[in-house]
């Protein structure tokens, strides 16, 4: 494996963890989130800060995951009060609050972010394999949730919260669990990104990044693990395949979103599995 | 018979208008109680307060001597209080049997930790199939609820509630919108529940079917209990006939 391939594997792995995390919140549990990049950033900043203090990789990854998950649960509390488009706007606001905060914090590097982050202790190829292992573990974990009673209950909450309550489901707890797991995974992706890039900038975690992650979920098919898996790999590789695709990445992502919404709201998974609702 | 539920002095107002104004009654174990009254009497409001969907301004609700007034609806379901909506609310993304399976496996969904550790749906599927057979929806098990006519959707709603193994089942106008043949099927179905250990409180406008299936009536008028007792006795009262039918 060349360093270039290792780099692509790392980016795909990080994007898979991000997209599958958002898929748990939006795809499984039906809670719209337009601020996923903020939790990616929370994990990254936490891990980077601790790494610069000398904390080893397992501790920084764990701390980044825990920090993003904890704040994710707090943000998830808003989902108990607002739904649908109001929740979308609220989570979008969380992303702007995060960016506005880190950009003004000198101890977090302000606009310049954090640089000079120590290495993971692994070379590029073993580190890429470590990220790939995490991505596979997250995929297996997603499949486990989907096929467990948690996935069944998430489906019910996504379908009709009030009906879910009449069969004894504590809707609030399940929503917060989805937010906790999904945002913790974003934090894990952020921690892994830190040792891959060795520098973090606020703009890496902006609204466009949130939309890019959401695009992977929507194009794959919200709620479908394999659909999101395939779409994430395809959309991550797209800029590598063609220079034009790299230059017009946002335009292509936007056009794909519109086409999917128009012709196959169920995404790739919906195309393959046309069954009556 | 012992008291299964006690509704004690419930009050609730909407914009200064009292929808329930000191409603009190008891529900005996294994009885079929019908809550009747003219439009706007507060029947559904009271049922929603008992179910935990609506919070009373004051008053208490007891289930088997336990004060459940401050518990949310899902927690009351866990204590054995089932509820069906006046307007059916199936999970449209599920098949008919999956709708009932979620209720049949309610022990596994008590909290997310238990839910994530549980995978097998076989037991819940078998129980759900048995419940669907019981309500006459066996052949429709694998269909989407969208494919079911209203009468069958109403039976699905009841099946989902039965699958929770409730001690007390609150039925909010299960016959509304049904043809007389469908209403008779539904009434015949729910009248069998007390014999299966499920106490029923029914809110219903179809007086003919109510008088056919109920053991006891509670009559509400303007947010108050006007009368209660055996159906024939209650319906013989002049004040009830006047309030309910407008005929003295």
pLDDT 10s digits, A210-239: 999 999 999 999 899 999 999 999 999 988
The mean predicted confidence, pLDDT, of chain A is 91
A223 belongs to a structural domain: no
pLDDT 10s digits, A118-153: 988 899 999 999 999 999 999 999 999 999 999 999
CA angle A114–A11–A202, rounded 5-degree value: 30
Element (H, E) at B184: helix B180-191
pLDDT 10s digits, B188-225: 999 999 999 999 999 998 888 999 999 999 999 989 99
A12 belongs to a structural domain: yes
A149 and B109 in contact by Cβ < 8 A?
A: yes
Nearest of B141, B176, B172 to residue B156 by alpha carbon: B141
* Residue in B92, B111, B116 closest to A277 by CB: B92
A165 touches chain B (CB under 8 A): yes
A165 and B118 in contact by Cβ < 8 A?
A: no
A21 belongs to a structural domain: yes
A265 belongs to a structural domain: no
B89 and A156 in contact by Cβ < 8 A?
A: no
pLDDT at position A121 is: 87
Distance from CA of B120 to the nearest CA of A (A): 8
Residue A154 has pLDDT above 50, yes or no: yes
How many structural domains comprise chain A? 1
Distance CA B52, CA A192 (A): 46
- Which band of pLDDT confidence, cut at 50, 70 and 90, is reported for residue B164? very high
Distance CA A137, CA A135 (A): 5
Of residues A267 and B231, more confidently modeled: B231
A168 and B161 in contact by Cβ < 8 A?
A: no
pLDDT at position A274 is: 52
A276 and B121 in contact by Cβ < 8 A?
A: no
Q: Which domain holds residue A24?
A: 3-205
A192 belongs to a structural domain: yes
N- to C-terminal Cα distance for chain B? Answer: 34
State how beta strands B3-14 and B58-63 pair. antiparallel
Alpha helices by DSSP H, listed for A53-170, are 57-76, 84-103, 124-147, 149-159, 161-166
Element (H, E) at B196: none
pLDDT 10s digits, A5-54: 999 999 999 999 999 999 999 999 999 889 999 999 999 999 999 999 99
Distance from CA of B145 to the nearest CA of A (A): 9
pLDDT at position A275 is: 46
Q: What are the extents of the domains in chain B? A: 1-80+167-248, 87-165
A165 and B73 in contact by Cβ < 8 A?
A: yes
Q: Which residues of B touch A153 (CB under 8 A)?
A: 102, 109, 112, 115
Q: Which residues of B touch A166 (CB under 8 A)?
A: 73, 77, 82-85, 89, 160-161
Sorted by sequence, the CB contacts under 8 Å of residue A86 that are 6+ apart come out as none
Predicted structure pTM score: 0.91
A101 belongs to a structural domain: yes
Nearest of B203, B108, B104, B123 to residue B161 by alpha carbon: B104
Distance CA A39, CA A108 (A): 16
Distance from CA of B213 to the nearest CA of A (A): 25
Task: Find, in chain B, the residue whose alpha carbon is nearest to that of A142.
Answer: B116
Distance CA B207, CA B241 (A): 12
A29 touches chain B (CB under 8 A): no
Backbone angles phi, psi at A55, to 5 degrees: -70, 140
Q: Is A121 left (phi over 0), alpha (psi -120 to 50) or beta?
A: left
Region B71-88 average pLDDT: 93
A152 touches chain B (CB under 8 A): yes
- Compute chain B's Rg from CA coordinates: 18
Interface pTM, i.e. ipTM: 0.90
Fold classified for B1-80+167-248:
Rossmann fold (3.40.50)
Q: Which residues of A touch B161 (CB under 8 A)?
A: 166
Residue A243 has pLDDT above 80, yes or no: no
pLDDT 10s digits, B33-73: 999 988 888 999 999 999 999 999 999 999 998 999 999 99
Structure tokens given for B174: 């299960």
In contact, A134 and A13? CB cutoff 8 Å? yes
B115 and A150 in contact by Cβ < 8 A?
A: yes
Distance from CA of B87 to the nearest CA of A (A): 11
DSSP structural state of residue B5 = E
């Amino acid at each position: 494996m060349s360093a270039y391939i290792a780099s692509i594997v790392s980016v795909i792995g990080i994007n898979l963890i991000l997209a599958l995390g958002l898929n748990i919140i939006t795809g499984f549990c039906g809670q719209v989130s337009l601020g996923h990049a903020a939790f990616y950033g929370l994990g990254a900043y936490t891990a980077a800060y601790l790494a610069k203090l000398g904390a080893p990789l397992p501790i920084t990854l764990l701390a980044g995951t825990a920090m993003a998950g904890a704040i994710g649960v707090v943000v998830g509390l808003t989902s108990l009060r607002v739904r649908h488009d109001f929740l979308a706007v609220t989570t979008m606001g969380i992303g702007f609050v995060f960016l506005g905060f880190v950009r003004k914090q000198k101890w977090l590097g302000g606009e310049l972010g954090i640089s000079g982050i120590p290495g993971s202790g692994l070379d590029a190829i073993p580190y890429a394999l470590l990220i790939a292992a995490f991505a596979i573990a997250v995929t297996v974990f997603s499949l486990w949730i989907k096929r467990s009673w948690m996935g069944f209950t998430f489906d019910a909450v996504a379908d009709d919260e009030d009906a879910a309550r009449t069969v004894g489901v504590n809707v609030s707890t399940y929503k917060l669990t989805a937010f906790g797991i999904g945002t913790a995974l974003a934090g894990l992706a952020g921690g892994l990104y830190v040792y891959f890039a060795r520098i973090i900038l606020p703009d890496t975690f902006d609204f466009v990044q949130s939309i890019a992650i959401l695009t992977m979920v929507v194009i794959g098919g919200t709620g479908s693990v394999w659909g999101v898996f395939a779409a994430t790999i395809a959309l991550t590789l797209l800029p590598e395949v063609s220079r034009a695709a790299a230059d017009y990445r946002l335009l292509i992502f936007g056009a794909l979103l519109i086409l999917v919404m128009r012709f196959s709201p169920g995404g790739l998974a919906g195309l393959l599995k046309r069954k009556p609702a | 018979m012992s008291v299964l539920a006690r509704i004690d002095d419930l009050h609730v107002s909407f914009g200064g208008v009292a929808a329930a104004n000191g409603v009190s009654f008891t529900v005996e174990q294994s009885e079929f109680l019908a809550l009747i009254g003219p439009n706007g009497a507060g029947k559904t409001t009271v049922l929603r307060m008992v179910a935990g969907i609506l919070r009373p301004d004051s008053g208490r609700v007891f289930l088997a001597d336990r004060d459940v007034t401050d518990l949310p609806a899902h927690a009351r379901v866990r204590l054995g209080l089932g509820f069906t909506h006046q307007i059916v609310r199936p999970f449209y993304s599920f098949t008919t049997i999956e709708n009932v399976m979620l209720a049949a496996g309610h022990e596994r969904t008590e909290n997310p930790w238990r839910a994530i550790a549980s995978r097998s749906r076989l037991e819940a599927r078998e129980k759900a199939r048995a419940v669907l057979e019981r309500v006459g929806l066996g052949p429709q098990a694998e269909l989407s609820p969208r494919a079911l006519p209203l009468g069958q959707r109403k039976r699905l709603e009841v099946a989902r509630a039965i699958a929770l193994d409730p001690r007390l089942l609150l039925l909010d106008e299960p016959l509304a919108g049904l043809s007389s043949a469908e209403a008779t099927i539904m009434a015949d179905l729910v009248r069998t529940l007390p014999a299966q250990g499920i106490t029923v409180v029914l809110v219903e406008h179809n007086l003919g079917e109510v008088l056919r299936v109920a053991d006891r009536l509670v009559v509400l008028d303007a947010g108050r209990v006007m009368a209660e007792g055996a159906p024939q006795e209650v319906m013989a009262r002049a004040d009830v006939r006047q309030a309910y039918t407008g005929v003295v």
